[in-house]
């Protein structure tokens, strides 16, 4: 089986969140499962710089005129000898700012033009544009690649398509007139096509035309089919003949393990936690926090957005700090949240530190140092933060939704008695519930023997990509069978 992984991000080249971690790790896991997989990425500057021995495969459409994008293949340096495909267009991709927005944080107005070429590249490869490799499955990740299943369907190609929702809240919505730029037939404009309430929706295009749909955790697969978290697409999801599979994300323990982490001042594992104490002291010292091993060091490693529930954390932060706790925040995002944590740092010197950055090394160091990682998301498709936290012996405190609910067992009296607890959770998204969970965490911290048992349980958890890869292979086979059945009916 040959699978094309179409996505906007892949670690370590381009990363804004967990999508990049998934796309960067999945191909290797699939290879171990016997599946040949190649990446298809936009030619951002970092991707272009990593591309070695490039070979032009074909020229892609450019309905709006100008210099057309090129589909190029070559080796991407971080991925060894594996070949990948890159859509090269300096005008579209090599710009200041981030992958999706300018330096001020405003989304690029032509994002539909920037990501539609991923679909055209997938279509060209499925047609045989590269005589050396042709996919029989196209795996589209999130809205950026959502047009690919539609492009395959309207071209009548035999390749099957799979659409994975990493975050349904981001749907790739554009004005109706942008449809003219998408190189799709007129029949694609309509309620059974890419149209969504008078707009173009890349996400709906993928969901409507893929032979199989998945999300990144079992609970989120159920949540998105309900109106509360379905973001207006719950009806499309419920109507899909193949249903919605929930495949929990994995962790690359070759990258995320304190026993072999090159970013740490001292490595450690569950059998010897002295290195964790050294990491905690180093972070406290380096970030201006009081160096105190008895202080409960809480951490946030996240985009600072309302989805992540960090406004709720700000509301209860004074109470969380009242018992001598500390907080370090690593992230960037909404200006009001950044200022809220900056104000907290000014009001609580030695207890709160805000690091406005996206820094992979710092993220590793914070997970290693923290006693607890707070993930109070309003909704969370899967979440990797809590998985990394557990690997590093930092107990996750989470809102009981999506993948957070699938992966963290709350330290209730029953779970403690049964030795099943791996973190803490709250069920109602309100300040009272979060404050109560924080208080329970403080009480657990004050009982070192109990804390240690939960910590050991957390560090023993394994969320391997090999398990996820096996489930994806089964999903690919279902998609191929469904595509073959559709071809027979036609």
Q: What is the CATH number of the domain that holds 48?
A: 3.40.50.2000
Q: What is the pLDDT of residue 490?
A: 62
Question: Are residues 71 and 175 located together in one domain of the fold?
Answer: yes
- Residue 148 shares a structural domain with residue 282: no
Q: What pLDDT score does 41 carry?
A: 98
On whether residue 195 sits in a domain, the answer given is yes
Q: Within this chain, do residues 472 and 354 fall inside the same structural domain, yes or no? A: no
Whether 199 and 279 share a structural domain:
no
- Confirm if 390 and 299 have CB atoms less than 8 A apart: no
Phi, then psi, of 352 in degrees rounded to 5? -130, 135
Range of the domain at 229: 2-250+465-489
CA-wise closest residue to 472 among 27, 144, 38: 27
Instruction: State the pLDDT at residue 103.
Output: 86
Evaluate whether residue 9 is within a structural domain: yes
Q: Are residues 238 and 300 in the same domain?
A: no
pLDDT score of 323: 86
* Per-residue model confidence as pLDDT tens for the chain (490 residues): 999 999 999 999 999 888 999 999 999 999 999 999 999 999 999 999 999 999 999 999 999 999 999 999 999 998 888 899 999 999 999 999 899 999 888 999 999 999 999 999 999 999 999 999 999 999 999 999 999 999 999 999 999 999 999 999 999 999 999 999 999 999 999 999 999 999 999 999 999 999 999 999 999 999 999 999 999 999 999 999 999 999 999 999 999 999 999 999 999 999 999 999 999 999 999 999 999 999 999 999 999 999 999 999 999 999 999 889 999 999 999 999 999 999 999 999 999 999 998 899 999 999 999 999 999 999 999 999 999 999 999 999 999 999 999 999 999 999 999 999 999 999 999 999 999 999 999 999 999 999 999 999 999 999 999 999 999 999 999 999 999 998 887 6
Q: Model-level pTM?
A: 0.94
Burial 171-184 (b: 16+ CB within 10 A, else e): bbbbeeebbebbbb
If phi > 0 it is left, if psi is from -120 to 50 it is alpha, else beta; for residue 172 that is left
172 in the same domain as 281: no
219 in Cβ contact with 406 (< 8 Å): yes
Structure tokens at 254: 């070759």
Q: Is residue 256 part of a domain?
A: no
Q: Name 214's bridge partners.
A: 164, 245
Q: What is the number of structural domains in the chain? A: 2
DSSP string, 301-349: ES-BSGGGTHHHHHHHHHHHHTTT-EEEEE--B-HHHHHHHHHHHHHST
Residue 361 lies in a domain: yes
Question: How many whole angstroms separate alpha carbon 342 and alpha carbon 355?
Answer: 9
Q: Is residue 173 part of a domain?
A: yes
What is the per-residue pLDDT for 452? 98
| Residues 12, 175: Cα–Cα separation, whole Å | 33
The three state secondary structure string of 163-206 is: EEECCCCCCCEEEHHHHHHCCCCHHHCCCCCCEECCEEEHHHHH
If asked whether residues 318 and 357 sit together in one domain, one would say yes
List the strands of the sheet with 424-426, edge to edge.
352-355, 326-330, 297-301, 372-375, 395-399, 424-426
Cβ 448 vs Cβ 273: under 8 Å: no
User: Is 385 found in the same domain as 337?
Assistant: yes
- Cis ω before 12 (30° cut-off from 0): yes
> For residue 269, is it within any domain?
no
Q: How far apart are the first and last CA of the chain?
A: 24
Does residue 236 belong to any structural domain of this protein?
yes
Based on the fold, state whether residues 125 and 20 are members of the same structural domain: yes
**Same domain? 12 vs 98:** yes
* Strands 83-88 vs 297-301: parallel, antiparallel or unpaired: unpaired
Phi, psi of 333 (to 5 degrees): 160, -130
């Amino acid at each position: 089986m040959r699978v094309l992984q179409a996505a906007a991000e892949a670690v370590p080249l381009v990363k804004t969140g967990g999508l990049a971690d998934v796309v960067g790790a999945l191909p290797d896991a699939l290879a171990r499962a016997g599946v040949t997989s190649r990446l298809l990425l936009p030619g951002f500057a970092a991707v272009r710089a990593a591309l070695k021995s490039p070979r032009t495969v074909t020229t892609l459409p450019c309905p709006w005129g100008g210099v057309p994008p090129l589909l190029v293949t070559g080796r991407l340096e971080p991925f060894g000898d594996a070949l990948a495909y890159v859509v090269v267009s300096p005008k579209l991709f090599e710009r200041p700012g981030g992958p999706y927005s300018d330096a001020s944080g405003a989304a690029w107005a032509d994002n539909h033009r920037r990501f539609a070429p991923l679909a055209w590249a997938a279509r060209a490869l499925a047609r045989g544009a590269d005589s050396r490799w042709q996919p029989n499955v196209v795996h589209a990740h999130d809205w950026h690649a959502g047009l690919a299943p539609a492009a395959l369907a309207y071209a009548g190609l035999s390749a099957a398509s799979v659409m994975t929702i990493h975050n349904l809240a981001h749907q790739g919505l554009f004005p109706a007139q942008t449809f003219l730029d998408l190189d799709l037939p007129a029949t694609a404009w309509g309620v059974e096509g890419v149209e969504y309430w008078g707009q173009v929706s890349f996400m709906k295009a993928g969901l409507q035309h893929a032979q199989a749909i998945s999300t990144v955790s079992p609970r989120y697969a159920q949540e998105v089919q309900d109106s509360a978290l379905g973001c207006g697409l719950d009806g499309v999801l419920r109507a899909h003949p193949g249903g919605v599979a929930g495949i929990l994300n994995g962790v690359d323990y070759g990258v995320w393990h304190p026993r072999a982490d090159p970013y740490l001042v001292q490595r450690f594992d569950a059998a010897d936690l002295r290195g964790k104490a050294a990491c905690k002291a180093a972070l406290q010292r380096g970030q201006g926090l009081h160096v105190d091993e008895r202080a409960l060091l809480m951490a946030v490693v996240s985009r600072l957005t309302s989805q992540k529930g960090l406004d709720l954390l700000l509301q209860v932060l004074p109470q969380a700090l009242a018992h001598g706790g500390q907080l370090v925040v690593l992230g960037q995002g909404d200006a009001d949240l950044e200022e809220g944590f900056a104000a907290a740092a000014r009001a609580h010197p030695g207890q709160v530190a805000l690091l406005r950055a996206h820094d992979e090394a710092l993220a590793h160091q914070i997970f290693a140092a923290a006693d607890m990682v707070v993930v109070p998301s309003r909704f969370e498709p899967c979440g990797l933060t809590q998985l990394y936290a557990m690997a590093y012996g930092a107990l996750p405190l989470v809102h009981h939704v999506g993948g957070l609910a699938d992966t963290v067992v709350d330290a209730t009296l029953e779970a403690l008695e049964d030795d099943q607890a791996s973190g803490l959770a709250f069920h109602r998204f309100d300040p009272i519930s979060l404050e109560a969970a924080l208080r329970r965490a403080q009480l657990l911290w004050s009982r070192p023997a109990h804390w240690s048992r939960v910590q050991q349980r957390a560090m023993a958890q394994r969320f391997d990509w090999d398990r996820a890869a096996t489930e994806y292979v089964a999903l690919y086979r279902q998609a191929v069978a469904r595509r073959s059945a559709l071809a027979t009916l036609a």
